[in-house]
Amino acid sequence: MNDVCAHPPCSCQNSEGEEYCSEECANVITAPVGKCRCGHDGCEGYLKYRDPQT
Ligand SMILES: [Zn+2]
Ligand SMILES: [Zn+2]
């Protein structure tokens, strides 16, 4: 089974029965690929692209 969030840059596990880990990921599908806004600690997409000053 693949339980990873369907948002490409996101490395989080999705919720059971859901394609995405969070509403943030579900809603960002039309945005350019490259970052994740889910805010989860450990999310590669989020950590890689977040502002280091925040
Ligand atoms: Zn994420
Ligand atoms: Zn996600």
Query: What is the number of the ligand closest to the CA of 38?
Result: 1
The CA distance from 21 to 16, in Å, is: 9
Tell me what pLDDT residue 32 has.
56
Q: Are 31 and 24 in contact (CB under 8 A)?
A: no
- Around ion ligand 1, which residues have CB less than 5 A away? 10, 12, 36, 38, 43, 46
Distance 43 CA to ligand 2 centre (A): 8
Do you know the residue count of the chain?
54
Write out the residue range of the structural domain in which residue 49 sits: 1-54
Domain count, the chain: 1
pLDDT in tens, 3-54: 899 888 889 998 788 899 998 888 875 555 678 888 898 898 888 876 666 5
**27 by DSSP, 3-state: which?**
helix
Alpha helices (H) along 1-54: 23-27, 44-49
